[in-house]
Structure 1
């Protein structure tokens, strides 16, 4: 049975699709898109129940993101990225959770997590300086997670390197308005962030390694719900890849609508061309396989955590390998049908071209780079323990 939030998204899909062009033109989510997503509750799926959320199964979250992305790729992307932040916030200090959600459980949180700044220790916390790229949906958020390296007395990254996530209110950082000019996912408004000497209290920080390990952070936070015991590098990629797969599903639906009555230059109806029909079916199967494999991976990890069993590095790496492959498979399928859509598919008034551009830009995210992930996973399955950089993002 579909989660109630997924059902709501399916009901508003037409309205989301109707403002997709406006979202792209604005370079950030249209107000109507934000309103619809808030009312549907997508961003609260992974939020803890004591702060107005659902603490839902991550499979339900992924399906909701896919449903949004089928209608509007940029809105789906913002939901996929931003929707994971309540999950991590549930692992943070309760004082911080109260600050963020105490007055409004619909408060949104931005990121990015890559360590673009240095947090220098001072009495009671840290002083943060840096610049970060790719803060998706940031215009609509009142708080932000930022990745940072712990600094030494000179404000340089300390040795050995230690990374953490820090949380700031909107007043403590600057959004660089002209920093998002791209060919796809234009409406995500994934702008740059600058922090210049902001003070971060200790309780607004969380160790990145603890979050990556999963259960450690949940125990420290007193969270007993299974979803909060999952590792970060399973949860964060889930939302992003779900958006890419949803975009691919949207592209397929648009392609079918467009091809149904299309007549090729040679006078043949597309629906009478066996070669195009073959390509459509093959692409549809590949996109469907991507959905199934993504949902299966996160469900397997959830079942391990729910049974009280440890999630090994091999478990994590296999899920990451499959998640990366899901994205590449789905986008390759979109290429196959787009190449058979004719010259009119590239016109701005044909929604197929937007889905095609959005899918390719989604594939550019760092979590979709296959090399080191595939290498690491192959080693683990040979019984060899990966070391150093081969353990990153897993």
Structure 2
């Protein structure tokens, strides 16, 4: 087990103690941020020369799960934000120096949805737009944003060009009242607005470069295998790891809750064989989700390590399995929550918070059962997916 995974496991009970405060604040508590930084979770995928570990993605996924086991919102922020140092490693070294030169614990936010238009000007671009779902943004000093290249009228150019751009905190506005939700409240996934900020060219990267993996790594002169992985393999990994960790936390909360509970009929719940069977089945399903997720990323990493190409089929099957892992884990949470009795819905119970967090985590676009599953099925039929069926794979 990686040392950071051990530390993440050690801080999970403390994160659990701060979970209610985190939810009430609508962002991670200061104490939670300090614990995560001390454990080094956000630096697992960061380059070694900037205080990171360039770790195996399995170690990253396991650390995120441990954090989410204690606090769903903390796990989610680690899962999303922990991937950003991986992509930053693919950017211009000048930008990496700007981000980490004075503080190697600097956090970076996102989102990647191309919700803004970048107009090309001398030396770079001028960016305008509004983005939703910037998880953990209150604790970050930089942000990755998705953008389309537009003409001077603000319309996307043809052929279509999309890219990721990076801005410092002074160049965007966080919309404070934009995160009022039923679950993952503590992630503080607020909207951000950019109004005419200049983005120098070295703070941009084409989405097609990171999609394949190898292209961006070669441009950045990164030889470590982890930086050659495809974007749509790495980014979903962090998010689904958080969901699986939340499911594990829900299972533990359910066990603690049911151990001494007496049902409305006066019997001990732990003597009810139907409840015990549901616990056993749910525990197995959550464990299967963990194993399938970690197996998928390991298979792709092993191909890169061996110098073998990662095919579109490899990526599609990994995405299919990653999506299924998330849904299987949340279905298992539903099965145990349904047997927890009426008092489980009270807001002072840990279980209901995990249940809400799990369902909101499932709402992320990378968990949609649409094109990724369709593409994987077509490949198994010997049909090459085209057009929109190749999106986010």
Q: Structure 1 stretches (4+) deviating beyond 4 angstroms?
A: none
SS in 2 for 1:15: helix
The separation in 2 between residues aligned to 1:51 and 1:4, in whole angstroms, is: 18
SS in 2 for 1:29: coil
Aligned position for 1:161: 160
Give the deviation of 1:344 after TM superposition: 0.6
Give the deviation of 1:154 after TM superposition: 1.8
Aligned position for 1:372: 371
SS in 2 for 1:75: helix
SS in 2 for 1:19: helix
Superposed, 1:206-285 pairs within 5 Å as 206-285=205-284
The separation in 1 between residues aligned to 2:262 and 2:209, in whole angstroms, is: 57
Report Cα offsets for 1:305-324 as digits up to 9, x if no partner.
00000000000000000000
Aligned position for 1:137: 136
Aligned position for 2:24: 25
Give the deviation of 1:156 after TM superposition: 1.3
Moved more, 369-378 or 36-45: 369-378
The separation in 2 between residues aligned to 1:52 and 1:381, in whole angstroms, is: 42
Superposed, 1:4-19 pairs within 5 Å as 4-19=3-18
TM-score with structure 2 setting the length? 1.00
Report Cα offsets for 1:93-118 as digits up to 9, x if no partner.
00000000011110000000000100
SS in 2 for 1:234: helix
Give the deviation of 1:155 after TM superposition: 2.1
The separation in 2 between residues aligned to 1:33 and 1:391, in whole angstroms, is: 38
Give the deviation of 1:80 after TM superposition: 0.2
Unaligned stretches of 5+ in structure 1? Answer: none
Report Cα offsets for 1:66-88 as digits up to 9, x if no partner.
00000000000000000000000
Give the deviation of 1:296 after TM superposition: 0.2
Aligned position for 1:93: 92
The separation in 1 between residues aligned to 2:265 and 2:199, in whole angstroms, is: 66
Superposed, 1:1-394 pairs within 5 Å as 2-394=1-393
Please give the root-mean-square deviation of Cα atoms over the aligned residues, in Å: 0.5
SS in 1 for 2:253: helix
Q: How many residue pairs are counted as aligned between the two chains?
A: 393
The separation in 2 between residues aligned to 1:375 and 1:178, in whole angstroms, is: 37
Unaligned stretches of 5+ in structure 2? Answer: none
The separation in 2 between residues aligned to 1:246 and 1:278, in whole angstroms, is: 22
The separation in 2 between residues aligned to 1:152 and 1:96, in whole angstroms, is: 26
The separation in 2 between residues aligned to 1:41 and 1:366, in whole angstroms, is: 28
SS in 1 for 2:177: coil
SS in 1 for 2:143: strand
SS in 2 for 1:375: helix
SS in 2 for 1:54: coil
The separation in 1 between residues aligned to 2:303 and 2:379, in whole angstroms, is: 18
SS in 1 for 2:156: coil
TM-score with structure 1 setting the length? 0.99
